[in-house]
Amino acid sequence: MKLWVSTCNNHKLREIGEILGPGFEIASLLDFRDFPDVEETGMTFQANAAIKARVLWEHVHEPVFADDSGLEVDALNGRPGVNSKRYSAPDPTSEKNIDKLLTELDGIPDERRSARFRCAIIYIDSTGREHLFEGTLEGRIARERHGTGGFGYDPVFWLPTKNCSVAECRAEEKNAISHRGRAVSALKAFLTK
């Protein structure tokens, strides 16, 4: 089955391809020369996923999905949330996002560093009907970086049950428990049932 994915993030694409496995032909925004930048103006992950999915669906009129994801930190009242990618704006990078997060949480004890990754997927089928799939991963924000795998906030996202950061997990381990893994697996179950 051919599935369009509304992202040009190579890390996300790799994870999504690994989770879906064989049987899916994945196309993405990387297949377009100049896909217009989509403004993520929604207040929720679901709203932003819908914005990204609809723009792509209007282009291809074939099954598409978009994921919107991010980090919610309880001590920061849910920030950075939908702004996870742009947290250290105006010129955000993953490194700067982590630096800002660690600075904001400076002095906060372990028991108050709880956080979760959240992922919302909107799948639009060939008739234009929308379907929502969600996943979360609970953990806490470490005091320093651990590991080099994954992307984004993975080096500081600590998994107390595994006693390691997400960046120290093997790809299969991350995909089995992650917010994106759970949401994409639910989509896969829906598509293959």
| Euclidean distance between CA atoms 157 and 180, whole angstroms | 15
Q: In the chain, how many H helices and how many E strands?
A: 5, 7
Categorise residue 3: left if φ over 0, alpha if ψ from -120 to 50, beta otherwise.
Answer: beta
Nearer to ligand IMP, 57 or 165 (CB): 165
Site for ligand IMP contains 152 (CB under 6 A)? yes
One character per residue 94-123, x = contact with ligand IMP (rule: CB under 6 A): ---x-------------------x------
Phi/psi at 145 (nearest 5 deg)? -75, 145
> Least CB distance from residue 42 to ligand IMP, whole Å?
10
Q: CB–CB of 143/101 below 8 Å?
A: no
| Euclidean distance between CA atoms 167 and 138, whole angstroms | 15
Q: What are the structure tokens assigned to 85, written together?
A: 């990618």
Site for ligand IMP contains 68 (CB under 6 A)? yes
Q: For residue 187, give the H/E element and its range.
A: helix 179-192
- Paired strand residues for 161: none
Selected binder of ligand IMP within 28, 65, 70, 101 (CB under 6 A): 70
Selected binder of ligand IMP within 64, 65, 113, 150 (CB under 6 A): 150
Note if 68 is an active site residue.
Answer: yes
Q: Which one of the spans 19-27, 29-37, 69-77, 103-111 is the region binding ligand IMP (CB under 6 A)?
A: 69-77
What part of residues 13-42 is at the interface with ligand IMP (CB under 6 A)?
40
Which of 68, 91, 99, 125 is the catalytic position?
Answer: 68
Selected binder of ligand IMP within 4, 123, 153, 158 (CB under 6 A): 153
35: nearest Cα among 2, 9, 68: 9
Q: Would you name the residues annotated as active-site residues?
A: 68
Site residues, ligand IMP (CB under 6 A): 9, 40, 68-71, 84-85, 97, 117, 150-154, 178, 180
